[in-house]
């Protein structure tokens, strides 16, 4: 059927009106979509990405990175009608205190309100700036109340403090091994000195002070431990506490001690070095029997979520994750949940929400402790994350749960 010119003209007018009407109806929807604002929320990864502590830095950075991806893929963080998507900003502090402070200053200048960092030696000098600028910080640090206290309310410790690793687990291990003469060889920095103080206090409380026969402090970048080891071995220790060393440092320490004829045992209570480089550099035979904390054997992971995290990390980085990675991942997920709970980016509101918030993550329920906790003397504030603490021993080049 052919339409007349008059009918075609009428049809065209009707269609034009329909299109205009549709456009007018769609306009509010488009405006509403445009008003659903999406913004970036930055977190500073103030870590060592070069130097001997780089393995620690990459471990934390990658853990936080996996958490950033998970939160963003789930739709980001919703605060007052605004969606925030995380962006991780890296700064290499080389595990040098002055560089760590410089990284934080640059972050503050960029308006960054959140940070992850690690190592007591480089975290300590950052604390005045953290407090002054209210930078909500998740930090992998040992030590004790010198870091975690009511004055440092924006600093949240992701790893177990020395009060737990040394004063509780360490003493148990020394007793089980029957240690008679203990030698301490740790880093000459804030972390090493703090751990040494905690160790001596723990020995005193347990009336074991007499077993500590030698203590040595050397720079974190030491490659030749021979002079310090020679002085320690002159005291005939049957056990050496390796202190807070990254994998390369601990491996060289153990290897050189064996080369000097040391036959006793080793522990590393606060460093949580990766096993792969420890075995490769130190030698499989030399590191046999070394006891460490915070290292999960890959075939003994306790939850499905943790197994999935482990698999993702392996797929991306072709290696097993270290403790700093999963501890920081869990802390970041907790931080993100707290921001949504607070419905604010105000640091004081965020940290207030964090302290009472419990979430279920890789190792089960995660929460903050510290206030009025007899195991954490002097803390006075819930700024210490708590999660299961595995004790492992190296057997045939691999970590297994220490029985």
Establish if 89 belongs to a structural domain.
yes
Q: What are 212-237's pLDDT values in tens digits?
A: 999 999 999 999 999 999 999 999 99
Residue 12 in this model has a pLDDT that exceeds 80: no
Phi, psi dihedrals of residue 42, rounded to the nearest 5° = -95, 145
* Enclosing domain of residue 125: 38-160+300-388
User: Residue 11 falls within a domain, yes or no?
Assistant: no
398 within a domain of the structure (yes/no): no
Q: Are 107 and 188 members of one domain?
A: no
Are 207 and 131 found together in one domain? no
Question: Is position 46 within any domain?
Answer: yes
Identify the pLDDT of residue 36: 63
The pLDDT of residue 18 is 39
Closest CA to 267 of 290, 298, 244, 237: 290
The predicted structure's pLDDT at residue 17: 39
Q: Are residues 170 and 77 in the same domain?
A: no
Instruction: Report pLDDT for 35.
Output: 56
Is residue 29 a part of any domain in this protein? no
What's the total number of domains in the chain? Answer: 2
Asked if 251 and 284 sit in the same domain, the reply is: yes
Between 373 and 260, whose confidence is greater?
A: 260
Same domain, 325 and 242: no
357 and 327 housed in the same domain: yes
What does the alpha-carbon distance between residue 340 and residue 350 come to, in Å, rounded to a whole number?
9
Higher pLDDT, 260 or 144: 260
In a domain, 355, yes or no: yes
Q: Reply yes or no on whether the pLDDT at 11 is more than 60.
A: no
pLDDT band at 317 (very low <50, low <70, confident <90, very high): very high
Same-domain status, 289 and 171 = yes
What pLDDT band is residue 4 in, cutting at 50, 70 and 90? very low
Mean pLDDT of the 281-310 span: 96
pLDDT band at 244 (very low <50, low <70, confident <90, very high): confident
Percent of the chain with pLDDT over 70: 91
The region of weakest confidence among 8-12, 53-57, 204-208 is 8-12
Query: In this structure, are 277 and 170 located in the same domain?
Result: yes
Clarify whether residues 73 and 183 are in a common domain.
Answer: no
Confidence of residue 3 (pLDDT cuts 50, 70, 90): very low
Q: Which of 269, 293, 317 is the last residue of a domain?
A: 293
Within a domain: residue 358? yes
Which of 293, 315, 347 is the C-terminal boundary of a domain? Answer: 293
How high is the pLDDT of residue 228?
A: 98
C-alpha to C-alpha distance for 84 and 335, rounded to whole angstroms = 13
Average pLDDT on 315-335 reads 96
Q: How far apart are CA 57 and CA 142, in angstroms?
A: 15
- Of 240, 260, 293, the position where a domain reaches its end is 293
Give the CATH number for residue 193.
Answer: 3.40.50.2300
Read off the pLDDT of residues 23-51 as tens digits, 9 standing for 90 and up: 444 444 334 444 568 999 999 999 999 99
Are residues 285 and 311 both part of a single domain? no
Question: Are both 156 and 203 inside the same structural domain?
Answer: no
Q: Is the pLDDT of residue 280 over 90?
A: yes
**Residues whose CB is less than 8 angstroms from the CB of residue 270 and which lie 6 or more positions away in sequence, other chains included:** 142, 162, 165, 166, 191, 195, 243, 244, 293
Q: Looking at the structure, do residues 167 and 286 belong to the same domain, yes or no?
A: yes
Strand pairing partners for 45?
Answer: 90, 116
Cβ proximity of 123 and 85 under 8 Å: no
Mean pLDDT of the chain: 91
Residue 86 belongs to a domain: yes
* pLDDT (average), residues 166-183: 96
């Amino acid at each position: 059927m052919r339409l007349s010119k008059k009918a075609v003209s009428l049809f065209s007018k009707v269609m034009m009106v329909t299109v205009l009407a549709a456009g007018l109806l769609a306009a509010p929807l488009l405006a509403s979509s445009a008003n659903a604002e999406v913004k970036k929320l930055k977190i500073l990864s103030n870590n060592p990405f070069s130097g001997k502590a780089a393995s620690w830095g990459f471990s934390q950075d990658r853990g936080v990175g996996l958490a950033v991806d998970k939160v963003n893929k789930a739709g980001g963080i919703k605060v007052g009608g605004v969606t925030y998507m995380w962006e991780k900003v890296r700064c290499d502090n080389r595990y040098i205190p002055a560089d760590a402070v410089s990284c934080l200053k640059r972050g503050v200048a960029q308006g960054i309100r959140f940070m992850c960092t690690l190592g007591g030696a480089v975290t300590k000098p950052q604390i005045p700036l953290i407090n002054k600028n209210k930078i909500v910080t998740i930090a992998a640090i040992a030590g004790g109340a010198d870091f975690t206290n009511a004055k440092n309310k924006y600093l949240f410790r992701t790893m177990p403090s020395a009060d737990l690793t040394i004063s509780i687990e360490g003493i148990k291990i020394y007793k089980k091994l029957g240690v008679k003469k203990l030698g301490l060889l740790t880093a000459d920095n804030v972390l090493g000195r703090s751990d040494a103080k905690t160790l001596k206090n723990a020995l005193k409380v347990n009336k074991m002070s007499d077993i500590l026969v030698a203590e040595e402090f050397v720079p974190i970048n030491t490659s030749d431990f021979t002079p310090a080891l020679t002085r320690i071995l002159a005291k005939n220790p049957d056990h050496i506490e390796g202190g807070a060393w990254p994998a390369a440092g601990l491996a060289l320490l153990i290897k050189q001690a064996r080369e000097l004829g040391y036959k006793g045992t080793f522990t590393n209570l606060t460093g949580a070095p990766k096993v792969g480089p420890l075995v490769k550099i130190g030698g499989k035979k030399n590191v046999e029997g070394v006891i460490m904390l915070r290292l999960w054997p890959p075939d003994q992971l306790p939850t499905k979520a943790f197994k999935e995290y482990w698999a993702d990390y392996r797929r991306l980085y072709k290696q097993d994750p270290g403790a700093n990675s999963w501890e920081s991942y869990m802390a970041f997920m907790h931080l993100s949940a707290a921001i949504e709970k607070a419905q604010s980016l105000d640091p004081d509101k965020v940290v207030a929400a964090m302290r009472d918030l419990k979430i279920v993550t890789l190792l089960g329920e995660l929460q903050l402790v510290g206030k009025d906790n007899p195991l954490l003397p002097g803390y006075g504030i819930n700024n210490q994350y708590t999660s299961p603490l595995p004790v492992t021993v190296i057997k045939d080049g691999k970590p297994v749960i220490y029985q």
